Amino acid sequence: MRDTYRISVGAVSRDLPLFQVRPGLRIAVLNILGDTELTEEAATVLAGRLVGVDGHVLVTPEAKSIPLAHALSARTRLPYVVLRKSYKPYMGDALEATTLSITTGTPQTLYLDEKDRSLIQGRRVLLLDDVISTGSTLQGMRALMAQGGAQVAAVAAICTEGDAGQDAGVIAIAHLPVFTER
């Protein structure tokens, strides 16, 4: 039986499985894909916490946080943009930035589709992710917003993870520790 870590998001609780991402380091994996109840509750809680934040567009990386962006968009009436992780020819003159995710351990490229550039240019954006851990994906998102001429109004996530001091300024519902073995 796999070890778990319990989180609460509003009125919804989940036992997250712990997975080893490198020797001596395990993380609690939050995967909202297919979990409508948790996604909807997280969107409701985050919408409440974003009241008063002057933003025009939600921006999220592909893929696990897309349902959250959609649900939050429905509540805030803000459009959302998905930063893709692979380039397709129909994306035209896309902007790109490289990140290193804790869950994959390999460099990933984020792409801002040409069609979405006009949605963010000169606008205040709300960066959104399911979990913010090392900040690498967030750094890539910020770089793309700067390239695209957007200003970051706020950063929001269901959970922050790891060193609690590094997530200052992130609007989050819960915090996940990392689990180290000595």
Residue 3 lies in a domain: no
Residue 7 lies in a domain: no
Residue 164 lies in a domain: yes
Residue-wise pLDDT tens digits, 52-73? 999 999 999 998 999 999 999 9
Residue 101 has pLDDT above 80, yes or no: no
Question: How many domains are contained in the chain?
Answer: 1
Domain that includes residue 82, residue range:
34-174
List the structure tokens of 108.
């990933």
Mean pLDDT rounded to a whole number for the chain: 92
CATH number for 106: 3.40.50.2020
Residue 27 lies in a domain: no
CA distances from 28 to 21, 35, 76, 128, 151 (A): 10, 16, 29, 19, 31
Residue 166 has pLDDT above 60, yes or no: no
Residue 179 lies in a domain: no
∠ CA(31), CA(66), CA(60), 5° rounding?
110
> Under a CB-based contact definition with an 8 Å cutoff, are residues 6 and 13 in contact?
yes
Residue 29 lies in a domain: no
Residue 59 lies in a domain: yes
pTM over 0.85: yes
Residue 2 lies in a domain: no
